[in-house]
Structure 1
């Protein structure tokens, strides 16, 4: 179901989806009010929901749609403004599955191509997760209580779904944790990452106070600015978009800025941030692999890398390099991941020392930085 007041955008997305063999457009609507009123009749699996619309905007329509169909996958769409980025974060806290930035002009070929690729991938992967859930329990159209309003623009996410059976995760774990106590924490994430990151950093205070934390989240400019602000609120520690050339110090969370890769380099006896505007890596910019691989020259095997929910396999190759250098990798498990692409790639590559539900990752990280090796 496409919900957007722009006839151009509705037509564009309809053509893209119509060209895919595994998805179809069941409705193309102009307002959030039309979507709410027609939801039961249309019964879509996925909704692409614009933020700014007449009669009922996307943020107001979101809880009403989820109240009517709790398992509806909603992807928020908005142009790249600070206000819309804030609204997209709010929507995530209210139950939206993901967001996608719309190009300022669909006449710009490269921007339209990126929007096309990202939208189709999000629909496919998030829709596939819904189908997997449906195999266990039939989708419901029964009314559900709306998600509570967050006190902050991004609230702590709801408790994650139950973890996959322990034997299943354990069978994928191939390595022991490093014999070295880590000196830096690296985190990579993508789809579902903002909520997951907020959950993890909330309980990482002891690690952040004593060690640097560097994060790459697949996200465009403006969105990363706001994400850094929310990470600071959740962790109650300083967090900001990394600045080229700045020193890497304990007590700080450094977030890769949207549209630029973040690496670490040696500056005298210290570590420093290096940002670059090079080509996308794994179709992403920023990408996780450049951060992971660059850290080895500075911290060698004293690295702990965490790969959270996300599409694709970014982080897996960098994780292999970290493990080869003597470091350790933890992946989020499938049951609590919005998309088990990135963590699944790492788990299936045999590079993980642990595959954990989201709500167990922070406590494990705290123990490892305190010297625990189990």
Structure 2
């Protein structure tokens, strides 16, 4: 056990699930299960007298459900992040997406496997990384050892053109001012809330298609698309295979599948496939960004929002080489500065901005009036 382990409270009305989650976390020396509770009311009572760093919160519980508990935790314990654990039901997915849009930092699907050992393995892989990403930072935290300080990032971004060949530099400088024809967005931990803030600031008649990869399990992304449409007033769908790419429309990658841009009979279309995960993710940001670079080149506008890990960094390199424009969310406004940090620290971002300023920059790039 490390000197200052991350203290986790597990809240679920099922003793079996509480036991599975506990076992999955106890295998990591940097995490300790500080307590368990069978509903939101008991969790809040426990938190009033016990220190906790991260809460894993069941969605559907008696006495006080997860959504109600989340809102009370945010009010009474604003520094404690909550991860939602949900069954794969339509009600569970709806509530989970709402919780994420309100500020829950992430979600995991409750295990569906018959084997306890397999359930523990799946939960451990998903939960441990997320808990370490959102929990308090210590000397061994990846956030403390990531490459580049703020000053280094700024310098790398400013000198990006000096690191590529003269021919590429010439192309980049000319194409930078070309109006984008597609907007691609990648995000993970903290993404639903970031999207809920960003997309309503973009006009309903925004003239180019928007494609989004949000790391989410199957069954959740259709609900996410519905929430985006309601929040933004712009048509938003869970993307389907060989669907024509339309302006004034937003597409969300289906959970469990990669989303790409392709071409059929001379028209750009959305493609869905089951290729292997990248950076342990499917959907991954990489296939979308790579295909955007291939089919839209220097008229690609890419935005990397909050998220743990480095998914999308290779695809962002492709967009940069094609002369596209890249915006990364800054550290202060990110729930987890992982994916945008990878882009910024590599010197790939044309701008690193707070979330509150990204919509205005998108509109400026696309010559859209506020």
Same fold (TM over 0.5): yes
Greater displacement, 74-83 / 356-365: 74-83
Match of 1:294 among 291, 294, 304: 291
Per the alignment, in what secondary structure is the counterpart of residue 27 of structure 1? strand
Per the alignment, in what secondary structure is the counterpart of residue 271 of structure 1? strand
1:342 corresponds to 2:339: yes
> How many aligned positions are there?
339
Alpha-carbon contact 1:261-1:276 (below 8 Å) kept: yes
- Could you report, residue by residue, the CA deviation over 1:291-327 in whole angstroms, capped at 9, with x for unpaired residues? 1111222212111110000011111110001111111
| In structure 1, C-alpha distance between the alignment counterparts of 2:309 and 2:29, rounded to whole Å | 20
Task: Give me the CA root mean square deviation.
Answer: 2.4
Match of 2:362 among 362, 365, 372: 365
Shift of the 258–354 alpha-carbon distance from structure 1 to 2, 3 Å rule, reads: same
Residue pairs, 1:138-149, within 5 angstroms = none
In structure 2, the gaps of 5 or more residues are 1-8, 141-148, 162-172
| In structure 2, C-alpha distance between the alignment counterparts of 1:321 and 1:167, rounded to whole Å | 25
Shift of the 288–110 alpha-carbon distance from structure 1 to 2, 3 Å rule, reads: farther
Residue pairs, 1:252-331, within 5 angstroms = 252-331=249-328
What TM-score does the superposition give when structure 2 sets the normalisation length?
Answer: 0.85
**Structure 2 counterpart of 1:145:** none
1:209 corresponds to 2:206: yes
Shift of the 131–365 alpha-carbon distance from structure 1 to 2, 3 Å rule, reads: farther
Residue pairs, 1:1-374, within 5 angstroms = 1-105=9-113, 107=115, 112-128=120-136, 170-174=154-158, 175=160, 178-205=176-203, 209-370=206-367
Alpha-carbon contact 2:153-2:347 (below 8 Å) kept: no
Shift of the 25–106 alpha-carbon distance from structure 1 to 2, 3 Å rule, reads: farther
| In structure 1, C-alpha distance between the alignment counterparts of 2:256 and 2:349, rounded to whole Å | 28
- Could you report, residue by residue, the CA deviation over 1:234-264 in whole angstroms, capped at 9, with x for unpaired residues? 2211110111011112111111111110111
Greater displacement, 178-187 / 191-200: 178-187
- Could you report, residue by residue, the CA deviation over 1:327-357 in whole angstroms, capped at 9, with x for unpaired residues? 1211000100110110001111111100000
Shift of the 125–244 alpha-carbon distance from structure 1 to 2, 3 Å rule, reads: same
Shift of the 184–64 alpha-carbon distance from structure 1 to 2, 3 Å rule, reads: closer
Alpha-carbon contact 2:23-2:120 (below 8 Å) kept: no
| In structure 2, C-alpha distance between the alignment counterparts of 1:56 and 1:371, rounded to whole Å | 45
Per the alignment, in what secondary structure is the counterpart of residue 48 of structure 2? helix
Shift of the 131–62 alpha-carbon distance from structure 1 to 2, 3 Å rule, reads: farther
Alpha-carbon contact 1:39-1:65 (below 8 Å) kept: no
Per the alignment, in what secondary structure is the counterpart of residue 254 of structure 1? strand
Alpha-carbon contact 2:20-2:120 (below 8 Å) kept: no
Alpha-carbon contact 1:78-1:101 (below 8 Å) kept: yes
Per the alignment, in what secondary structure is the counterpart of residue 24 of structure 1? strand
Per the alignment, in what secondary structure is the counterpart of residue 25 of structure 1? strand
